[in-house]
Amino acid sequence: MKIHLGELSEHESTLDIGADHAWALDAAARTDEHSDKSPRGFSATFSFRKVDGLITVAGSIHTVLRLLCSRCTLAFEQATSPSFSMLYSRDPDLTRKESGRSASADADVCLLGSDELDLAEIVAEQLQLQVPCQPLCRSDCKGLCQSCGANLNEAACACDRRARAKSPFASLAGYGAAKG
């Protein structure tokens, strides 16, 4: 969905988006690390305002990220609710960085290449910022066995006991517990 800049004024306008907007679900799906076609909850609120050649966009998104665990590779879902505030301008002088600071005081201003704001791009960007570097299905995920690939969250494998018995560090196994 695109908002034409000519439609914005100095008076704040708001827009509520729900799961019935296909473009919003498509934008949210760009962050999915696995292709689960089940329905997804989605809602977003945007507010727009034009002030002195700047366009302010603020809002919040409520949805579920579909991720893959970086330890056990299982698919999982993680709820997220980012809030954001952004400044846009068509004037390149307002977006240029001067000596480490933006020309508009302390705020970063994004340059608009057209007379439209693409809300799908904003949704996709804000959700991508919510994806952890190493997604975990749970904080105590044990991952996969390095030898046989078994999911250690489900059961211990025989490889684990044999590897520990052959390890030159096996004698240190109880050291930390005895000292602590």
Domain boundaries, the chain: 2-128, 144-180
DSSP string, 79-113: EE--EEEEEEES-HHHH-EETTEESSTT--EEEPS
pLDDT given for residue 148 in this prediction:
85
User: Which position has the higher pLDDT, 160 or 79?
Assistant: 79
pTM: 0.74
pLDDT band at 165 (very low <50, low <70, confident <90, very high): low
* 104 pLDDT above the threshold of 50: no
Q: What is the arithmetic mean of pLDDT over 103-120?
A: 77
Question: How high is the mean pLDDT of the chain?
Answer: 83
